[in-house]
Amino acid sequence: MLTRMTVLGTTLLFFGWSSSWAQEPLAEGYLLRGKLAEGEAALKKRLIEMPTDDQARFGLGVTQFLQSFEHLGQSLYRFGLRTERSFVRPAPVIRELLPQNPNPEKLTYDLAQKILQTFVDDLTRAEATLADVNDRDVKLSLHVALIKIDPFGLDKPVNAAFLLTQNGQRQSGDLAQFVIAFDRGDVSWLRGYCHFLLAWGETLLAIDGRELFECSAHWTFERVETPYSFLVEDRQPLDANPNWMWNQRRIADAIATIHLLLKMPLQEPNRLMAAHGHLKSMLQMSRDMWTFYGAETDDDREWIPNPTQTGVLRVPVTSEMQKTWLATVDEAELVLDGKRLVPFWRGADPQRGINLRRVFLELKEIDIPLWIQGTAAAPFLENGETTRFANPETLRRINEQFRGSNFIGFAFWFN
C-alpha cells in the first residue's frame, strides 16, 4: 500500500495538485489543459482584482511550482539532453515523453549554471506566493491525475494518468475521479518541498563544476562547449553495439566523471549558507503543516490526514506517528544548528562529533575520499552531545511507528 502511495505521491509532486467553494477553482482549468503560463497570468490578474482571494493565490503558487519543472525540462530539451542516446533502449513511452531534440543549441558551462539558477528563481517565486496565503480555511480541490505539464515545450502536455497507466490500463482505479482537497496545511507542505529543492539548487550552484562539465557533459548533452573536442567526436548511442558495457571510451568517461565528482572546490560558499537556511525553513514548514492539520475538524478528501481523518490514500496516520515525526523534525533541527553532533566514526572518544552547522558555514572544498577517511572532517570536530539518531532506541521507536523499512515513504509523504 505504501509503495503505491509513494509512487503516486512522487507523481503528484511533479505533475499535480477544486475547492469547497461551489465553483471550480480558477487554477484548475488551466492546469488540466497544461496551460501554465496562461494560468499564471489569469491568476495574477485575479489577485489584482481581488487581493484577498487566497484560493487563487494558492492556485498561483501551485502553478508556479509546476512551471519550475516545465522551464527546467524545456531548457534541457533546448540544449539537446541525450534522452535517446545516453540510455539503453528506452521504452517507447519514455521516447514519447522525453524525445531528443534533433537540432539542439550548444550548451556551455555558464548556460548550464543559468538553467539551474532559473530553477532556483522559479521555486523562490512559488514559495513567496504560497507564503502570502493566510486564510486558514482555504481549499483548492484538484483532479490531480489529470493536471498536465508540457515537459519539453513541444505543445504536448502530459498528465499523471499517462504515467500511471500500463498498456493502456489504469493502475490505480479511476484516476479521472481522483480529487484531493488541498487545504491550509498543504500550503505549508508545498512550501516545505520548495525549500527542500532550493537547498539542493543552492548547493549545486555553490560548487565549481566547470571541469566536471567540460570533461563529462558530452555524456548527456548532444552539443557542448568543451576544450576537449575529441570527446564529442564519433559518439554513438549507448546501446549501438552488444558490447556497450565494455566500451573503452565509456569506461574512461565513467572513471573521469567519478573522479571529478569526488573532489570539487566551492566557488560560492555563501550559497551553502543559503542551503542551510532552506533546510531549516523546510523543518519549520513541517511543524506548521501539522499545526494546521491538527486544527482540522472536517474530513474532506485530505492529502495528509490527522489522526481523526481518513485521507484519500487510505493510509492511517496515528497520533503516535505524528508525535514521533515532530520529534524527528526537532532532532534534525538540533543537528542543523550544531547543538547536537553527528557521530564521528574514527578514534576512541565517543563524545567527539561533527558540527554540521559549521560544515555548511565554513566548508571550502568537497573531498569525498578524505571525508570517508575522516581527515576532511577534522576542522569541524567538537566534543559534545551526539544526535539521538545514533541511539538504537530512537531508531527502534521510529521504525516501530513507521512500519520499519517504510519510513522513507512516510518521510517523502510527510515532508
3-state secondary structure of 159: strand
146/177 Cα distance (integer angstroms): 9
Q: Which residues touch 41 (CB under 8 Å, ≥6 apart)?
A: none
Q: Which residues touch 125 (CB under 8 Å, ≥6 apart)?
A: 64
Q: What is the pLDDT of residue 162?
A: 67
Q: How many CA atoms lie within 13 A of 293 on its CB side?
A: 31
> For residue 23, which amino acid is it?
Q
**What is the mean predicted confidence (pLDDT) over 59-82?**
95
Give the residue with greater pLDDT, 10 vs 105: 105
In 77-209, at which residue ranges do the beta strands (DSSP E only) sit? 139-143, 148-149, 158-159, 165-166, 169-170, 179-183
Answer yes or no: is pLDDT of 121 > 50.
yes
32/158 Cα distance (integer angstroms): 10
Q: What's the pLDDT band for 238 if we cut at 50, 70, 90?
A: low
Answer yes or no: is pLDDT of 171 > 60.
no
The answer to whether the CB of 104 falls within 8 A of the CB of 80 is yes
Lowest mean pLDDT among 170-174, 227-231, 316-320: 170-174
Q: What is the pLDDT of residue 133?
A: 97
3-state secondary structure of 382: strand
Percent of the residues in the chain that have a pLDDT greater than 70, as a whole number: 85
- How many other CB atoms are found less than 10 A from the CB of residue 330? 13
Answer yes or no: is pLDDT of 202 > 80.
yes
95/93 Cα distance (integer angstroms): 5
Orientation angle between helical segments 319-336 and 270-294, nearest 10 degrees: 160
26/50 Cα distance (integer angstroms): 13
3/297 Cα distance (integer angstroms): 28
The answer to whether the CB of 321 falls within 8 A of the CB of 294 is no
Q: What's the pLDDT band for 232 if we cut at 50, 70, 90?
A: confident
239/87 Cα distance (integer angstroms): 7
Query: pTM here?
Result: 0.88
Answer yes or no: is pLDDT of 7 > 50.
no
Q: What is the pLDDT of residue 394?
A: 80
Cα-flanking dihedrals φ and ψ of residue 7, to 5°? -60, -45
Residues present in the chain in total: 415
- How many other CB atoms are found less than 10 A from the CB of residue 66? 25
**What is the mean predicted confidence (pLDDT) over 92-99?**
72
**Closest CA relative to residue 106, chosen from 223, 275, 243:** 223
Q: What's the pLDDT band for 88 if we cut at 50, 70, 90?
A: low
**Residue 30 corresponds to which cell in the numbers above?**
488551466
177/106 Cα distance (integer angstroms): 43
Lowest mean pLDDT among 70-84, 104-118, 151-165, 218-232: 151-165
Compute CA distances 291 → 57, 136, 185, 306, 385, whole Å.
21, 11, 8, 10, 29
Q: How many CA atoms lie within 13 A of 118 on its CB side?
A: 16
Q: What is the pLDDT of residue 23?
A: 60
Answer yes or no: is pLDDT of 81 > 70.
yes
Mean pLDDT, the chain, integer: 86
Answer yes or no: is pLDDT of 173 > 70.
no
Orientation angle between helical segments 36-49 and 26-33, nearest 10 degrees: 170
**What is the mean predicted confidence (pLDDT) over 64-75?**
96
The answer to whether the CB of 75 falls within 8 A of the CB of 118 is yes
Report CA Rg, the chain.
23
The answer to whether the CB of 13 falls within 8 A of the CB of 186 is no
Q: What is the sign, positive or negative, of the torsion defined by CA atoms of 103, 108, 113, 117?
A: negative
Summarize pLDDT for 26-51 with one digit per residue, the tens.
999 999 999 999 999 999 999 999 99
Answer yes or no: is pLDDT of 243 > 90.
no
The answer to whether the CB of 79 falls within 8 A of the CB of 221 is yes
Answer yes or no: is pLDDT of 256 > 80.
yes
Question: Partners of 264 in the beta sheet?
Answer: 366
319/306 Cα distance (integer angstroms): 8
**What is the mean predicted confidence (pLDDT) over 293-306?**
92
**What is the mean predicted confidence (pLDDT) over 108-125?**
98
**Residue 20 corresponds to which cell in the numbers above?**
469547497
